[in-house]
Amino acid sequence: MFIQAHLVAIGGPIRGRTGPAGVAVAVAALLGAAGGPARATELEPDGTTVPQQPPSGEQSAAASLTPPSEVRLDRLIVAQHEMLESIQDAHVPLPGFSPLCDMTAQLLLRGGTCEVSLGWYNVVPGQTKPPTPDQIFPFLAANDPASTPRPDYTPGVQMSGAGGAAGSASPMSATIKAVRSDPHYAGGLIGFAMIGDDKKMPPVCTQTHFMEASLNPVCTTPACMNKPWIAGLSYQSTGRPNTYYFLFEERPMSATDFGNDGDFNDQVFMVSGVTCDGGGQPCDTGQGGVCRRGTTQCGKAGKLTCVATTPASAEVCDGLDNDCDGVVDPPGVGCADPTKMCDRGRCVPACNDLTAPCASGMVCVTGVCRQPSCAAVTCPAGQVCVGGVCQDGCIRGGMDVACPHGQVCRVGRCVDPCDGVTCSADQICEDGLCQAPCTCRACASGKSCTRDGRCVDAGCQNTACPDQMTCIAGVCQDLCYLTLCPTGQFCSMGQCLPVPPPGATGSGGFIGIPDAGFGGRAGGGGMSGGEDAGIDETSGGGGKISTCSCEAGGPGLGSVAALLLVGIALAIRTRRRG
């Protein structure tokens, strides 16, 4: 996720340089612009605007360190190369965050003097009482002053040269591997807290502060109107995916006194591996082609946007609208191998009448084997010719084609959507998309996560089926269960294959039903005939062609009966279209 942001100054956005130096100049311009520094946008219940600039004494103490250090939030932003404004972009955090896979925390800035831990807890919707100490799980443990002493106001932002950023000094960090598998994780959103376990002696910061403001102490003075104190603010990173900065005030608050200076630099943590509620889920962008499928990404205040998972690119022969212009594999799309031709999303060996003739009953047309009735027919991109008529190749008899389990229909072919897709080492391919394993995300409704990180039908995550069977909705079924292949094809061993042309015979063969995964044993018949729709994978001759194991004894069903049977079956199955 990369949310593009810009810095806002008096009079409008600052344009131009966007690198680290440009950010530094922009921040300086913001702080020195006519009319004074940018105003804070968050209010404590007593009316105090936050965050404030650190007190001069705090800044001087940090500057006196060796090497000199900075504790201002704007300098931290420069050091982290973020496109943020330190005052205006600091907001009360979201009520909770959705953990992904590995979750990492770093203590980047300590503008306070206490040694405290960062913890996480399970968010309970509607909860008004803070979690008990045993319900807050330490994430980044506090520094132990006895074994590892360090000065106050460290780590800070070490500066070099004339205001150039050198980054945070010696940040502490910790990682929770596969947090969704953590035994403490309840399965929903999580929140973050600065634990009041001050390790310094005598301890001062003994009160736990929550990013979720409703869990903090309530201010009871008349000006506060019984609202809770804000103890934490956050920034959403503009350059790091799934990353937030959490800014805490560390000293105890009471019913009548905030007890802090409001600069929110006491304990600043960067947490990666979390997203907002609903982030990272599949969505429809409303665009065409491969750009249609997207994932939800988090904006300010948790606002979700749908961003295309696959951007538009040059067309290739794959049965997809790669450039998102509404046309699939337009004429002229070539193949990497010059001896092959693009035929309905697949590069196939080019035919010719002399050295590579087509099978019996087919004719070679511009390098592709076609039905004779389709030899002179040119169909629009995305359609196929059936019996001399152009039609949607993924509709059969007025019904959507239902490919074998795990496959999708593209331009008249049932294919594995992950064929040809290469994902990075930390991703897997599901439904043709590279995405994190489901150990790092939630599966869609009706799906469950397997140990290898793939989402499968609920009830199938722990089911091992025999050979030639697959698990569907928790039950082992034949590989051709409820399959309705494209026109001119029949299902065998989980694949939609072309029906040989009329006249192809074989001893002891089966009568295949092109429209479904069902067949009947025929003592001496061959394959039933049917329009081939220009399928290039033609069978060379007769002989036994195995169909699926759901074959019933007795004569084969006719195609009309098969369509009726499949129509009833499809009413209880989710139709698959690619």
pLDDT-based confidence at residue 297 (cuts at 50, 70, 90): confident
User: Distance of alpha carbon 572 from its chain centroid, rounded?
Assistant: 29
Interval 422-444: pLDDT, tens: 888 888 898 888 888 888 877 88
Question: 32 pLDDT exceeds 90?
Answer: no
What is the mean pLDDT of the segment spanning 519-547? 35
Spatial CA neighbour of 478 closest among 445, 518, 524, 443: 518
Give 64: exposed, middle or buried? Use CB within 10 Å, 0-12, 13-18, 19+. Answer: exposed
Higher pLDDT, residue 519 or 264: 264
Give the pLDDT score at 205: 97
- pLDDT at position 169: 53
Instruction: Indicate the pairing of strand 293-298 with strand 304-308.
Output: antiparallel
Listed in sequence order, the residues at least 6 apart from 98 whose beta carbon sits closer than 8 Å to its beta carbon are 189, 190, 274, 275, 276, 277, 278, 279, 280, 442
Please, which pLDDT band fits residue 38 given cuts at 50, 70 and 90?
Answer: low
> Quick check: bond before 67 cis, omega within 30?
yes
CA distances from 180 to 122, 247, 273, 297 (A): 12, 25, 11, 20
- Average pLDDT taken over every residue of the chain: 80
Nearest CA-CA partner of 261 in 90, 40, 109, 55: 55
Percentage of the chain exceeding pLDDT 90: 47
**How many Cα atoms are found within 13 Å in the side-chain-facing hemisphere of 196?**
17
Q: How far, in Å, CA of 494 to CA of 538, rounded?
A: 17
Residues in the chain: 578
Please name which of 229, 303, 257 lies closest in space to residue 42, comparing C-alpha atoms.
Answer: 229
- Catalogue the E-assigned strands of 86-195: 98-109, 117-122, 137-140, 157-160, 164-168, 172-176, 190-195
Burial (CB count within 10 angstroms: exposed 0-12, middle 13-18, buried 19+), residue 287: middle
Burial class (CB in 10 A: 0-12, 13-18, 19+), 459: middle
For 466, which DSSP code? Answer: P
- Top-confidence residue, 328 or 474: 474
Asked whether the beta carbons of 243 and 81 are under 8 A apart, the reply is no
Of the listed ranges 31-45, 223-237, 358-372, the least confidently predicted one is 31-45
383-402 mean pLDDT = 89
Whether residue 555 is predicted with pLDDT greater than 80 in this model: the reply is: no
Global confidence as pTM: 0.68
pLDDT tens per residue across span 202-233? 999 999 999 999 999 999 999 999 999 999 99
Phi, psi of 179 (to 5 degrees): -60, -30
pLDDT in tens, 464-498: 999 999 999 999 999 999 999 998 899 999 999 98
- Cβ contacts of 192 within 8 Å, gap of 6 or more: 93, 97, 118, 119, 120, 121, 139, 210, 211, 232, 246, 269, 271
Residue 40: the pLDDT is: 60
What confidence category does residue 344 fall into, taking pLDDT thresholds of 50, 70 and 90? confident
Q: What pLDDT shows up at residue 524?
A: 35
